[in-house]
Amino acid sequence: MLPKRLQERPLPEEFARKLLVHSTNAKSGSLATGELHEVYSPYFSAPLGHVGVGSVEDVEKAFELARHAQKQWQERPIAARARVIKRFHDLVKKHSDLLADIVQLETGKDRTAAYDEVLDVMNNARYYANNAEKFLATSSKAGAFPVITSTTQQRVPKGIVGQISPWNYPLALGVSDAIAALIAGNGIVAKPDWQTPFSNLIALHLLLNAGLPHNLFQIVTGSGTVVGQAIAQRCDYLMFTGSTATGKLLGKVVGERLVGYSAELGGKNPMIISPDADVAKHADTIATACFSNSGQLCVSIERIYAHTEIYDEFLHAFKAATEKLTLGTGLNWNYSMGSLINQDQLDRVTAFLEDAVAKGATVVTGGKARPDVGPYHFEPTVLTDLGPDTDLETEEVFGPVVYVQRVESLEEAVELANDTNYGLNASVFGATETAERLAWQIETGSVTINDGYAATWASISTPLGGVKESGMARRHGPEGMTKYTEVKNIAQQRIMPMRGPKQLPRKYYGQLMTTALDLGKKLKFLP
**Does the active-site annotation cover 264?**
yes
- Which residues share a beta bridge with 41? none
With a CB cutoff of 8 Å and minimum separation 6, the contacts of 388 are 359
Q: What are phi and psi of 468, to 5 degrees?
A: 55, -130
Say if residues 112 and 217 touch (Cβ distance below 8 Å): no
Phi-psi region of 362 (alpha: psi -120 to 50; beta: other; left: phi over 0): beta
CA atoms of 86 and 92, how far apart (whole Å): 10
CA atoms of 282 and 274, how far apart (whole Å): 12
Helix-helix angle 111-136:172-183, to 10 degrees: 10
Nearest C-alpha neighbor of 382 from the set 448, 304, 313:
304
CA atoms of 22 and 11, how far apart (whole Å): 16
Nearest C-alpha neighbor of 475 from the set 84, 177, 200, 145:
177
The burial of 261, by beta-carbon neighbours within 10 Å (0-12 exposed, 13-18 middle, 19 or more buried), is given as buried
Full DSSP string of 113-144: HHHHHHHHHHHHHHHHHHHHHHHH--EEEE-S
Phi-psi region of 405 (alpha: psi -120 to 50; beta: other; left: phi over 0): beta
CA atoms of 376 and 370, how far apart (whole Å): 7
CA atoms of 434 and 276, how far apart (whole Å): 8
Nearest C-alpha neighbor of 237 from the set 175, 189, 165:
189
With a CB cutoff of 8 Å and minimum separation 6, the contacts of 148 are 493, 494, 495, 496, 498
Catalytic residue among 13, 35, 60, 264, which? 264
**Cα torsion 466, 472, 473, 476: sign:** negative
Phi-psi region of 522 (alpha: psi -120 to 50; beta: other; left: phi over 0): alpha
Angle at 362 between CA 319 and CA 350, to 5 degrees: 90
CA atoms of 470 and 423, how far apart (whole Å): 5
- DSSP-derived secondary structure letter, 369: B
CA atoms of 33 and 230, how far apart (whole Å): 21
Q: For the chain, give the number of residues.
A: 527
Active centre residues (catalytic): 264
